[in-house]
Structure 1
């Protein structure tokens, strides 16, 4: 069963963050990992035991505290996109051609159009 696990981990620098991510990435069943360095949290979504996550982080010498374990939020449905409407649709055989319009207005009042 997939679950969202939030752990509190001490990130002192970029090197610490990289070490924690490498340690967690070794575990199987992880769908996504997110790090918030300001809040010192590591969020893991997937089918993985939270205690096992904490143990894996502690093996590299970092303290890990399980803050919460809950089912992941379902992704919101994507809004339906409206199909784009072409103003001057071309025949299917001419999709790569460009439409050129030329008009000639002579002084006599008549005109000529070439499409």
Structure 2
């Protein structure tokens, strides 16, 4: 499986629809994303980057390969921060003084 990013001239919703319609006919695609502002088409799956580019070009759009590489790995549970226990939200430092019978005062912070 690989992630392929193409630079595609996308000017309007019709352009976006035409590109998506052409690309979704290919087999081996798991995910397709079109970013009109950046002018990129991102495809994740087992598809040939050259075949993908040719398919987009046949739809009447100018396309060039920007990158081909492994997809971003899914986020693992260990990288997710655990919330603090409820008792930690109420923690405060409170000054305490202690005066023993036979010596001077002692302060604990």
Question: TM-score of the superposition, structure 1-length normalised?
Answer: 0.66
**Pairwise CA RMSD of aligned residues?**
1.6
- Matched with 2:43 is 44
Residues 6-85 of structure 1 aligned to structure 2 (within 5 Å) = 6-78=5-77, 79=80
- Matched with 2:92 is none
- The runs of 5 or more residues in structure 1 that have no matched partner are 83-115
Per-residue deviation at 1:10? 0.3
Aligned equivalents of 2:48 and 2:25: distance in 1? Answer: 13
Aligned equivalents of 2:59 and 2:40: distance in 1? Answer: 17
Q: Secondary structure at the match of 1:22?
A: helix
Per-residue deviation at 1:81? 8.8
Per-residue deviation at 1:80? 9.6
- The runs of 5 or more residues in structure 2 that have no matched partner are 84-109
Flag the structure with higher helix content: 2
Per-residue deviation at 1:9? 0.3
Aligned equivalents of 1:76 and 1:43: distance in 2? Answer: 19
Per-residue deviation at 1:12? 1.3
